[in-house]
Structure 1
Amino acid sequence: MKIYVTSIFVDDQDKAEKFYTEVLGFKVKHNIPLGDNRWLTVVSNEDPGGTELLLEPSDHPAVSPFKDALVADGIAAHSFEVKDLDAEWKKLSDLGVEFATEPMDAGAVHMAVFDDTCGNLIQLIQMKDTTPS
């Protein structure tokens, strides 16, 4: 068994598609009209056959209070792994991405948290090399 799709609630699918593809560099895998919304998934260019991220509309009444509570408490909705956090932080900062938490040491990882402009905080992590020298 493996995870094939996971979702993140977004306030606006068009805005989310633009941010997740043009800013973060993911690519659209599925874009299927479903009434007023779409089955819109993106994947990593580094792993196009990997787990899909569904940019799911925040239409359900329970979603907004849930997302607002997570953001208010500084809790990230998702975590993405990067190879070089400092380089990714600089690249995204230069593109205007707002970070709630700048790169910091967090035990086994180096991490930062940014605002995805769609109502979510997203955590970036770089795994530390824990191999003994």
Structure 2
Amino acid sequence: MRIHLTSAFVDDQEEALRFYTEVLGFVKKHDVPLGEDRWLTVVSAEDPGGTELLLEPSRHPAVAAYKAGLAEDGIPALSFAVDDVHAEFDRLRGLGVRFTQEPLEMGRVTTAVLDDTCGNLVQIVHGA
């Protein structure tokens, strides 16, 4: 068994696609119109056949409270592995990305947390 698909609830699919591809570096895999919304997935440029991230509209009534609660408590909704958190922090900050946690070394793991502009906090991590 392996993870095939996971979701990120986003406020605006077009803005999310721009951020996740142009800023974070993912690539679009599927973009299928579904009425007002789309089945819109991205994958790692390093693993185009790997796990897909569905940029899912935040329309369900329970989503707003869920996202707000996580953000208010500073809990990332997503976590992405990077080769070097410090280098990625510098690259993303140079692109204007807002971080809620600068790189933090915790033993063998280093993390940082950013705002994806779509209502989610995202952790980047390397180590362990």
Classify the TM-score, shorter chain: over 0.9
Q: Matched residues in 2 for 1:4 and 1:84: separation?
A: 25
The amino acid of 2:12's aligned partner reads: D
Matches within 5 A, 1:27-38: 27-38=27-38
- Structure with max Cα Rg: 1
Structure 2 counterpart of 1:117: 117
Q: Matched residues in 2 for 1:82 and 1:127: separation?
A: 9
Structure 1 counterpart of 2:10: 10
TM-score when scaled to structure 2?
0.98
Between 1:57-66 and 1:103-112, the stretch displaced more is 103-112
- Runs of 4 or more, structure 1, over 3 Å off, are none
TM-score when scaled to structure 1?
0.94
Structure 2 counterpart of 1:41: 41
Structure 1 counterpart of 2:69: 69
**SS of residue in 2 equivalent to 1:62:** helix
Displacement of 1:84 in angstroms is 0.9
Unaligned segments of structure 1, at least 5 residues = 129-133
The amino acid of 1:32's aligned partner reads: V
Unaligned segments of structure 2, at least 5 residues = none
- 2:57 is the counterpart of 1:57: yes
**Identity of matched residues, %:** 61
Displacement of 1:52 in angstroms is 0.2
Displacement of 1:105 in angstroms is 1.0
Q: Matched residues in 2 for 1:42 and 1:5: separation?
A: 10
Q: Matched residues in 1 for 2:50 and 2:120: separation?
A: 22
Q: Matched residues in 2 for 1:24 and 1:117: separation?
A: 12
Structure 2 counterpart of 1:131: none
Q: Matched residues in 1 for 2:123 and 2:108: separation?
A: 14
Q: Matched residues in 1 for 2:81 and 2:14: separation?
A: 24
Q: What's the CA shift string for 1:46-99, capped at 9, x where partnerless? A: 111100000000000000010000000000001000001111000000000000
- 2:83 is the counterpart of 1:89: no
Q: Matched residues in 2 for 1:81 and 1:7: separation?
A: 16
Q: Across the two proteins, how many residue pairs are aligned to each other?
A: 128
